[in-house]
Chains A and B, each alone.
Chain A
């Protein structure tokens, strides 16, 4: 191969399709040249990086070089052990407690018990809250929304309430003792998920409907209050230990 075959003007730009070297924008130039959203993105990245750096240098605490648990081996080994056990439990229970297949569907015969699987009882219970659907005096005691729509809305409200939790409760507290209020909300919600599920199977429980409806709302509140009281009482001792450990690990500079 002789060098004379390649023309000098093509040589400078490689294949000719690429801009000559001195015209190719450098990384820095691209950054400064770009406009609009990409420019904003670059700027934000710069800022974020600077912010991290500032925080790091100003920090009163020893830098934490682990922000979470290592997945391996910490998490995985424990998960495998526990999961293998419970997979075994699935195999065993499936072998010993086979599912029941009832009578075939019969549209003309309404069965006495209409129930979804247990995990939908809470939702089904919410659908049965029609005794609480308020009537309006102005409309002569008529209900504004149908009982069914009321039940559907109750479901929407419950799910949304769970969804907004991270937007209401922020910060770095992790343990329930650190935030007795939120722990109380959690326990209350958990108890409610059970009491409302009991409403779904109301006809199988020998209590009057009125009493059950009251219990469905009173029990969660009571258990929430108890949780709050217990955690508040425990808090001082707990927080002392937690803080001691925390500051021993990350002593103030």
Chain B
């Protein structure tokens, strides 16, 4: 008795019988080779099932579904503002990570090391000026987009009943976005940064009971200095990125579950 398999799973015999072109043979041989080792067929099956599920369930568009006579509501383009906020946030995060490599959060020296490192980024570093510019502008665009997104949600009534939670979350998000901007504004340690920080300390001190404690926690004291810039830096590159990213994920997750509010 030979040890050769002679059943229907003898792929080589099957290949011979099929009379294939060289391309087909190579393809099938490599497929069989990989499949015998990695069970590719299983994964393909999963993909196939997914494909059919998606396509079978591919919904008609809203306008087709309801056979609306106007196919385009003039507010629809504004529905992409939320997504655009995310993209601008990602651009800011990527450029920010690169800027972080070269920035020094310290007020030592005159002008401060922080200021000098920003000058070095813009003048010595290849593409440094563009990097800083991109970071700045994507942050501006994100803030603007978030504000406009809020306005579109308001005027399309998308905040109503089952979506209050997302509205509240949104307010937390827009506040954190502004804090993001504020902490970043202080980092270059130029005149504008310093005096904006001064206003921040004064505001914090004006709050009764928790004011002084808050000023100490956030600004590291009542006069601006080394502690302030380090805290702003940690907030800007460590605390806020984690918190905001998580909250955006939650926000979008809820939208995902609830669906976009349907206009009619």
Contact = CB atoms under 8 A, between A and B. Distances in A.
Interface of A: 65-75, 78-79, 82-83, 86-87, 89-91, 93-95, 97-99, 101-107, 109-111, 114-120, 123-124, 127, 146, 148-149, 151-152, 159, 162-163, 165-167, 169-176, 178-179, 182-183, 186, 190, 242, 245-246, 249
Given A78-B76, A103-B190, A151-B203, A111 B160 contact: no
B175 A105 contact: no
Given A99-B136, A102-B191, A105-B190, A183 B61 contact: no
B259 A69 contact: yes
B161 A166 contact: yes
Given A93-B137, A119-B178, A245-B68, A172 B144 contact: no
B104 interface: no
B164 A166 contact: yes
A80 to B, nearest CB: 8
Interface residues of B, number: 86
24 contacts: A66-B59, A66-B262, A79-B83, A79-B84, A82-B77, A83-B80, A94-B130, A94-B137, A98-B130, A104-B110, A105-B191, A105-B193, A114-B195, A116-B199, A117-B181, A119-B181, A152-B207, A159-B175, A172-B160, A174-B157, A174-B262, A175-B263, A183-B155, A245-B69
B259 A163 contact: no
B109 to A, nearest CB: 10
B256 interface: yes
Contact of A119 (B62, B65, B144): B144
B66 A186 contact: no
* Interface SS of A by simple majority: helix
Given A90-B137, A118-B140, A190-B151, 9 more contacts: A68-B260, A69-B260, A78-B76, A82-B77, A104-B115, A116-B196, A152-B207, A166-B163, A174-B261
A78 B134 contact: no
* Interface SS of B by simple majority: helix
Contact of B208 (A86, A102, A127, A149): A149
Interface string B198-235: 11001101111000000000000001100000000000
Given A82-B77, A165-B167, A106 B194 contact: yes
B133 A114 contact: no
A98 B135 CA distance: 10
B88 interface: yes
Nearest to A187: B155
B160 A170 contact: yes
B137 A175 contact: no
Contacts of B178: 119-120, 123
A39 B5 CA distance: 60
Most interface-central of A69, A89, A104 (chain B CB within 10 A): A104
A90 B160 contact: no
B84 A86 contact: yes
A75 to B, nearest CB: 6
Contacts of A171: 160-161
A105 B189 contact: yes
B192 A115 contact: yes
Contacts of B175: 159
Given A82-B77, A245-B264, A152 B193 contact: no
B173 interface: no
Interface string B47-79: 000000010001101100111110000001101
B43 to A, nearest CB: 22
A107 B224 contact: yes
Interface in B123-174: 129-130, 132-134, 136-138, 140-141, 143-144, 147, 151, 154-161, 163-164, 167-168, 171
A226 to B, nearest CB: 16
B87 interface: yes
A233 B79 CA distance: 27
A35 to B, nearest CB: 29
B61 A74 contact: yes
Contacts of B203: 127, 148, 151-152
